[in-house]
């Protein structure tokens, strides 16, 4: 059994690529690269083809985490057929992804039956007391977002490992 994770944010240059890189790093350290695939996408098309934002790259560089080859892309209806876990950085991203799901003709029940899980990143960190991952594109707080990504990806990795054992 394999698992696949898609992180989604607005432009796919700050939060979701940071989550993708952190999660890939944690998956690699756990020796699970063959079992867990990780990617990221955005709901907006402003930055298509661009590498992660400078602030994201700086945080990842400080923690020796690779972002090589990462380029912004849009989330697509096909992603619902590929990824088991679709993790949105905020409630607006979740709303937009659900809208895409509805427009694609897939029903949420079909999605759940296919072992799909669609949720916000902060559901992984209920004790943080915030609903959405703040967007550092607007506030510049890439350090705080990195801390959230590190902790949330650890929680997600534990969840996936548990799910894989039960499959």
Residues in the chain: 167
Strand-pairing partners, residue 51, are none
Whole-angstrom distance, CA of residue 150 vs CA of residue 23? 8
Residues tagged active-site: 9, 15, 135
**Residues in CB range of 6: below 8 A, 6 or more apart:** 39, 40, 41, 75, 79, 82, 83, 85, 86, 87
Three-class SS state of 40: strand
Instruction: Name the residue with tokens 């490992």.
Output: 161
Neighbour order of strands in the sheet with 117-120: 36-42, 3-9, 85-88, 117-120
CA 68 – CA 96 distance, rounded (Å): 28
């Amino acid at each position: 059994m394999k698992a696949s994770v898609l992180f989604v944010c607005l432009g796919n240059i700050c939060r979701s690529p940071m989550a993708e890189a952190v999660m890939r790093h944690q998956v690699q350290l756990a020796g699970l690269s063959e079992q867990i695939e990780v990617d990221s996408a955005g709901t907006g098309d402003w930055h298509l083809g661009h590498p992660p934002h400078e602030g994201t790259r700086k945080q990842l560089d400080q923690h020796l985490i690779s972002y090589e080859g990462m380029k912004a892309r849009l989330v697509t209806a096909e992603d619902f057929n590929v990824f088991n876990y679709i993790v949105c950085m905020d409630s607006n991203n979740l709303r937009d992804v659900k809208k895409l799901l509805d427009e694609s003709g897939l029903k949420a029940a079909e999605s759940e039956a296919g072992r799909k899980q669609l949720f916000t990143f902060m559901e992984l960190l209920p004790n943080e007391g915030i609903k959405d991952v703040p967007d550092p594109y607007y506030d510049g707080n890439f350090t705080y977002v990195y801390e959230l990504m590190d902790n949330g990806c650890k929680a997600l990795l534990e969840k996936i490992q548990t799910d894989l054992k039960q499959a």
